[in-house]
Amino acid sequence: METAVNQGAPEVPIPLGVSHYLRRAHNALRQQITQHLERHDISMKHFHFLKALQFEDGVTQIELSRRVGVERATVTVVVEELERLGYVRRTRNKVDRRKMHVFLTAKGRRTRTALAETIAFAQDIALAGISAEEYAMFKFVLD
């Protein structure tokens, strides 16, 4: 015997909210960025870490976690991968031996151009058909 959920209740349409459109835009842009990064042999999961280190090299893993917006355990795994790939090196803090600082290697610093190109490429795609004023408003609203 089947029972209908909310039997007799009028059907209320479920609207597509802002998060739906932001997610669709994010997914489409992420796919383009991933393809662009692959040409430079950089994975998407490494992108945000390398980008953060380009802004300030030598931060602690805890600070890197905050800047990238991921859990500390994730930072440890990704930084270990980046270290194996030769993009970063880690050094222990001399005062507080629990802290590890992450530094870009020469190879890691050479990713700067590829990262900048990828960000410019993504901006061009994302902002196609959007005026500077509309983009400024978009940033203002989301901040």
What is the distance between the alpha carbons of residues 17 and 20, in angstroms, rounded to a whole number? Answer: 5
Model pTM score: 0.74
Over residues 88-133, the pLDDT tens digits come to: 999 998 999 889 999 999 999 998 888 888 888 888 888 889 999 9
Residues 6+ apart with CB under 8 A from 7: none
What is the distance between the alpha carbons of residues 55 and 36, in angstroms, rounded to a whole number? Answer: 21
What's the pLDDT score for residue 46? 93
Over residues 67-81, the pLDDT tens digits come to: 999 999 999 999 999
Query: Quick one: which of 61, 112, 101, 107 has its CA closest to 87?
Result: 107
What is the distance between the alpha carbons of residues 39 and 59, in angstroms, rounded to a whole number? Answer: 28
Q: How far is CA 50 from CA 11, 63, 101, 108, in A?
A: 49, 14, 14, 7
Query: Quick one: which of 79, 92, 74 has its CA closest to 53?
Result: 79
What's the pLDDT score for residue 15? 85
Q: Provide the pairing of β-strand 88-92 with 59-60.
A: unpaired
DSSP state of 105: -
Determine the average pLDDT of the residues in 129-138: 92
Determine the average pLDDT of the residues in 26-31: 89
